[in-house]
Amino acid sequence: MLTLPRTDLKVSNLCFGGNVFGWTADQAQSFELLDHFTEHGGNFIDSADVYSAWKEGNQGGESETVIGNWLQSNGKRNQVVIATKVAFLETRKGLSAANIALACEDSLRRLQTDYIDIYYAHGDDLETDLEETLGAFNELISSGKVRYIAASNYTYDRLAEALRISEANGFAKYVALQNRYSLVAKEPYESDGAKSVQDFGISGLPYSTLGSGFLSGKYKEGESVDSARAVAVGNNYANAENYALLARVEEIAQRHSVSNTSVALEWLRNQPGVTVPIASGRTIDQLTALMQQVTLTADEVAYLG
Residue 235 has pLDDT above 70, yes or no: no
User: Can you give the pLDDT at residue 228?
Assistant: 53
CATH classification at residue 157: 3.20.20.100
Provide the domain count of the chain: 1
196 in any annotated domain:
yes
Tens digits of per-residue pLDDT, 112-165? 999 999 999 999 999 999 999 999 999 999 999 999 999 999 999 999 999 999
243 in any annotated domain:
no
- Provide DSSP, 12-53: -SSEEEGGGBTTTB-HHHHHHHHHHHHHTT--EEE--TTTTT
The 8-class DSSP code of residue 215 comes to G
302 in any annotated domain:
no
> How much is the average pLDDT of 208-220?
88
Tens digits of per-residue pLDDT, 13-47? 999 999 999 999 999 999 999 999 999 999 999 99
Residue 256 has pLDDT above 60, yes or no: yes
User: Can you give the pLDDT at residue 102?
Assistant: 98
User: Can you give the pLDDT at residue 239?
Assistant: 87
| Per-residue pLDDT band at 110 (split at 50, 70, 90) | very high
Tens digits of per-residue pLDDT, 269-290? 999 999 999 999 999 999 999 9
Lowest mean pLDDT among 22-31, 179-188, 228-237: 228-237
Q: What is the mean pLDDT of the chain?
A: 95
Lowest mean pLDDT among 43-47, 196-200, 211-215, 253-257: 211-215
Angle between helices 240-256 and 260-269 (to 10 degrees): 100
300 in any annotated domain:
no
User: Can you give the pLDDT at residue 238?
Assistant: 77
> How much is the average pLDDT of 1-19?
98
Predicted TM-score of the model (pTM): 0.94
User: Can you give the pLDDT at residue 223?
Assistant: 52
147 in any annotated domain:
yes
166 in any annotated domain:
yes
| Among candidate residues 127, 107, 110, 128, the one with its CA nearest the CA of residue 118 | 107
> How much is the average pLDDT of 88-111?
98
Residue range(s) defining the domain that contains residue 105: 2-211+271-293
Tens digits of per-residue pLDDT, 74-85? 999 999 999 999
197 in any annotated domain:
yes
Within the chain, how many helices (H) and strands (E) appear? 11, 10
Distance CA 31, CA 48 (A): 18
Residue 230 has pLDDT above 70, yes or no: no
Catalytic residues: 51
Lowest mean pLDDT among 45-49, 132-136, 183-187, 212-216: 212-216
**Percent of the chain at pLDDT exceeding 70:** 95
